[in-house]
Amino acid sequence: MARRKLAAGNWKMNGLSASIAELDALIENASGAAAEVLICPPATLIAAFAARAKDGGVVIGGQDCHAAVSGAHTGDLSAEMLADAGAAYVIVGHSERRADHGEMNAQVHAKAEAAWRAGLTAIVCVGETEAERNAGKAEEVVGNQLAYSCPDGATGSNMVVAYEPVWAIGTGRTPSNEDIAQMHGFMRAQLVFRYGNGGNEMRLLYGGSVKPANAAEIFALSDVDGGLVGGASLKATDFSAIVAAASG
């Protein structure tokens, strides 16, 4: 099965109801794109975005979910709620959740299983800090995150992995193309070892300072099946250029 490229936008804590104009522009620009196009807006906008995107070529996702179906968890959202609002994907284990909320691999693992329970595709995020890379431990760290954050039963249709080196997020810095290809090759080998052919069918996204100027060369690297994009996904013009790069 050929892996269809995925251009995913993570809006993080950005966007108000007026931002639907950006979604409209993106739907128009991305119509007919070869790549799959995903926007993960803040949870407050998921229902409105999903309703608007329903007949367009854009799918909508959440940025996080709780592992439980429901219960006394003030402020949290279950995967079922995201699905009910119209989400098809959910990001789990983003480094900002790991850092700001102390999320550990075991929680990320439970959230990925919750995503599947609700019929969502989980985008599991991994990535080393700068200190870990400088210490020569990038593969060890990412290998551990993969082993303990990804549940058994992952397939090419229920899980996407996003490699986001922490030091490349929002900094304008990216690893060299060789380093990205090396890490993606390493992740592919780990996933094939664990999941067999399913590991070949999973999409592996690169994230961290992807922008129109570098997207095409990054997406052309072997085992890079698209991108998870923060800042450059907020403006339809920039993100449309990234979608075009993923479709090229």
Binding test (CB under 6 A) with ligand 13P, winner from 5, 6, 7, 10:
10
Closest CB to ligand 13P among residues 64, 80 = 64
Asked whether position 229 contacts ligand 13P by CB under 6 A, the answer is yes
Task: Assess 92 for contact with ligand 13P (CB under 6 A).
Answer: no
**How many amino acids of this chain bind ligand 13P (CB under 6 A)?**
14
Contact residue for ligand 13P among 207, 215, 239, 243 (CB under 6 A)? 207
Nearest to ligand 13P of 68, 221 (CB atom): 221
- Give the nearest distance from C-beta 233 to ligand 13P in angstroms: 7
> Which residues within the stretch 124-143 sit at the binding site for ligand 13P (CB under 6 A)?
none
- Does residue 106 sit in helix, strand or coil? helix
Answer whether 17's CB lies under 8 Å from 48's CB.
yes
Give the Cα separation of 185 and 159 in Å (integer).
17
The continuous run of DSSP H or E covering 58 comes out as: strand 58-62
| 210: contact with ligand 13P by CB under 6 A | yes
- Asked if 86 touches ligand 13P (CB under 6 A), the answer is no
Distance CA 70, CA 118 (A): 12
Q: Is the dihedral of CA 133, 135, 140, 141 positive or negative?
A: negative
Pairing of strands 6-10, 36-40: parallel
Strand partners, 10: 40
Give the phi and the psi of residue 22 in degrees, each rounded to 5. -65, -40
Window 170 to 189, contacts with ligand 13P (CB under 6 A): 170
Contacts with ligand 13P by CB under 6 A lie at 10, 94, 164, 169-170, 207-210, 228-232
